[in-house]
Chains A and B, each alone.
Chain A
Amino acid sequence: MSPAPELAVEASGLVKHFGDTRAVDGVDLAVRAGTVYGLLGPNGAGKTTTVRVLATLLTPTGGEARVLGHDVVTQAEDVRGDIALTGQMASVDEELTGQENLVLLGRLLGFSSSAARSRAGDLLDAFGLGDASDRLVREYSGGMRRRLDIAASIVTTPRVLLLDEPTTALDPRSRNHVCDIVRALVSAGTTVLLTTQYLEEADQLADRIAIIDHGKVIAEGTSSELKASVGSGGLRVRLREPGRRPDAELILARALDTTVRLEADPVELSVAAAGTSDANRALAALGDAGIEVGEFAYGQPSLDEVFLALTGHSAGDVTDTDDQNENEEAVA
């Protein structure tokens, strides 16, 4: 075994065309071992195609990609030995029980029958699926299925785990479960490359983020770097009386010498503020004018704003799956 390379995943000029569709159009990636890397972008941005190339399921049209130093085309077998994939479509067998799914994978990975069974039992318990282990996966909720899917990826410890939209269509609680699992995996040394449409999730989980749009990486960095690249933080103010908003707009614009955004909510305004002292000055000006502030918040720009600034369209425009709450946990 060669010493562990610094980079778990590298891609340079990666291109994948399907006919005339340039699904991936020159992607460069450098994912340090032992970190969580987020590919963030709307549907159709090329995230899944990138992951499928890295998982050796697709052959790139151009460029190259390496997983732990192994080329995904010429050393595909070595790559397969290092990675595990949790695909966007549940990559578990619906017609088997949770237990059987994991035992099958254990056997394929070279465990004896009894070792495969005991490993399956451990994983099901750890992932909160112990009670459902003998039920068909078809009857699982979305959250349970996703947890099983991730459990299926770590029957043996993968050095690189590829998670394609691990939380899409999950209710918030199940989403938190998945986030907990990802953190536990990374603390145990696995490198995780995940794709997501959720800016918040990339922000919470990923050490570094690449924002992908139309098959290209349009920005890369840590979450704070990306936010900083868009500019200053922002002050958000909610007034007690909607009638005072025009006055407040004038005062804030004058105090900070910039334009004020009127939010959809008739009592809400937001304005760019370089630091907390600016924000304080603006709030004081409102107080001096006798405008009552119900709430305010100061923060760095959200990744949504970053996305908007970089692409000219909001990531949320294309994809909003927050309303899909039908995947409730249904453990009897």
Chain B
Amino acid sequence: MSAPTATMPETVISEAAVRSAVAADLHAAPISALSASLAFAWRAMLKIKHVPMQLFDVTVFPVMFVLLFTYLFGGALAGSTSEYLQDLLPGILVMTVTMITIYTGMGLNTDLEKGIFDRFRSMRVWRPAVLVGMLMADAVRYTAASIVVLTLGFVLGFRADGSAFGVLMAIGLLLVFCFAMSWLWIVLGLKAQTAESVMQMSMTILFPLTFASNVFVDPSTMPGWVQGFVKVNPITQLTDASRALMHGTEVGSSVIWALLWSAGFLVVFAPMAMRLYNAER
């Protein structure tokens, strides 16, 4: 045996103490869907508190993306980095935060392998609360990432010509979209066998979405069929909306399209996710 027995203090379980703890005879009171979701959001926030490394992706990635793309492409594409940044930053914000959403699915997949979900599922609590709470905590992460991107952008010379309200609206829209799209990652997280395969599938979806968009370059130089894809791509719509809101220009239909895409993701994938969550495992 490995541990020396002598140094271990005796654990005392007093039957009287256990009995009085049980005899308190406390009964559960029903809680609202919102309170349940908030409790699960709190659980997710505690995990971040205990493992702050989880914030790596919402701090380091955004910084990396902004710096890399601004200085690699800026001179070539827009003549100067500060010029490019005005156009790039709203897009890079969309791209960065969208990229971060894939951790939702991976985290869930890892969680599922443990027994804790059995306990939650055998309790009289609004069932989607586990997932909604998780997404609520993610919204905090996304907000943190947005702040990092914007702060760095302002330092590097980004100037939002619109109002502060416009900037907030852009972030709000992005959060709505990410919340909706995360249900897709939840579906993958619930279906996949391993966290690695969740990662691979998510990347396969996200890479074309983020790069085949108008985030980096003007799509007018692309071949027609690519342009067709770029035009309907929700990332393009979000980027358009984000640029317009931040710079105070005409938003056109982009906000509507971004919201429609969000609704689409939610309507298709949220019920699917709940079916998978409720399914036997």
Q: Return the CB mask of A96-117 against B: 1 if under 8 Å, else 0.
A: 1100100011011111000000
Decide if A91 touches B115 in the complex (CB within 8 Å). yes
Is A188's CB under 8 angstroms from B23's CB?
yes
Residues of B close to A58: CB separation below 8 A: 280
Chain A residues with Cβ under 8 A from B252's Cβ?
none
Whether B15 contacts A180 by the Cβ 8 Å rule is: yes
Counting CB contacts under 8 A, is A90 at the interface?
yes
Contact B47 A328 (CB under 8 A): no
The answer to whether B36 touches A108 (Cβ under 8 A) is yes
Interface residue B72 (Cβ < 8 Å from any Cβ of A): no
Give the residue name and chain of the A residue nearest to B119 (CB): A91
By a CB distance below 8 angstroms, the chain A residues around B118 are 52, 55, 57, 85, 87, 89, 91
Q: Is B28 among interface residues, defined by CB-CB distance under 8 A?
A: yes
| Structural contact, B123 and A80, CB atoms closer than 8 A | yes
Report which residue of A108, A127, A331 has the largest number of chain B beta carbons within 10 angstroms of its beta carbon. A108
Q: Would B51 and A95 count as touching, CB distance under 8 A?
A: yes
Instruction: State how many residues of chain B have any CB contact under 8 Å with chain A.
Output: 48
Would you call B2 and A326 a contact (CB within 8 A)? Answer: yes
Q: Give residues of chain A (76-90) contacting chain B, Cβ–Cβ below 8 Å.
A: 77, 80-81, 83-85, 87-90
Is B155 among interface residues, defined by CB-CB distance under 8 A? no
Q: Is the CB of B124 within 8 A of A184?
A: no
Which among A154-162, A228-236, A273-281, A286-294 touches the partner chain?
Answer: A154-162
For B33-68 the 0/1 string (1 means CB < 8 A from A) is 001100100110011001100000000000000000
Q: Scoring A residues 41 to 55 as 1 if CB is less than 8 Å from chain B, else 0, what string do you get?
A: 000000000001001
Residues of A within 8 Å of B, CB-based: how many? 64
In the complex, which residues 156-211 of chain B have their Cβ closer than 8 Å to any Cβ of chain A?
A: none
Give B1-52 interface residues, CB cut-off 8 Å to A: 1-3, 5, 8-9, 11-15, 17-31, 35-36, 39, 42-43, 46-47, 50-51
Task: List, in ascending order, chain A residues with CB within 8 A of B251's CB.
Answer: none
For window 54-81 of chain A, which residues contact chain B by CB distance below 8 Å?
Answer: 55-59, 77, 80-81
Asked if residues A108 and B17 are in contact (CB atoms below 8 Å), the reply is no
Query: Does A32 touch B at the CB level, under 8 Å?
Result: no
* In contact, A184 and B8 (Cβ under 8 angstroms): no
Residue B122 interfacial (CB < 8 Å)? yes
Could you mark each residue 132-167 of chain A with 1 if its beta carbon is under 8 Å from any beta carbon of chain B, else 0?
000010000001100100001111110000000000
Residues on A with C-beta less than 8 A from B23 are 157, 188
With both chains docked as a complex, state the minimum distance between the C-beta of A87 and any C-beta of chain B, in angstroms: 4
Let me know if B22 and A190 touch, CB within 8 A: yes
Query: Counting CB contacts under 8 A, is A322 at the interface?
Result: no
Q: Are the CB atoms of B18 and A185 closer together than 8 Å?
A: yes
Q: Please, how many angstroms separate the alpha-carbon atoms of A33 and B206 in the complex?
A: 55
Chain A residues near B1 (CB-CB < 8 A): 325, 328
Residue A181 interfacial (CB < 8 Å) = yes
A87 touches B115 (CB 8 A): yes
Residue on B with the closest CB to A112?
A: B29
Closest to A150 in B: B18
- Which positions in A face B, CB cutoff 8 Å? 52, 55-59, 77, 80-81, 83-85, 87-97, 100, 104-105, 107-111, 119, 122-123, 125-128, 136, 143-144, 147, 152-157, 173, 177, 180-181, 183-185, 187-188, 190, 325-326, 328-331
A-B contact pairs, 10 of them (CB 8 A): A77-B124, A89-B118, A90-B114, A108-B125, A109-B29, A122-B24, A126-B13, A127-B13, A127-B18, A153-B119
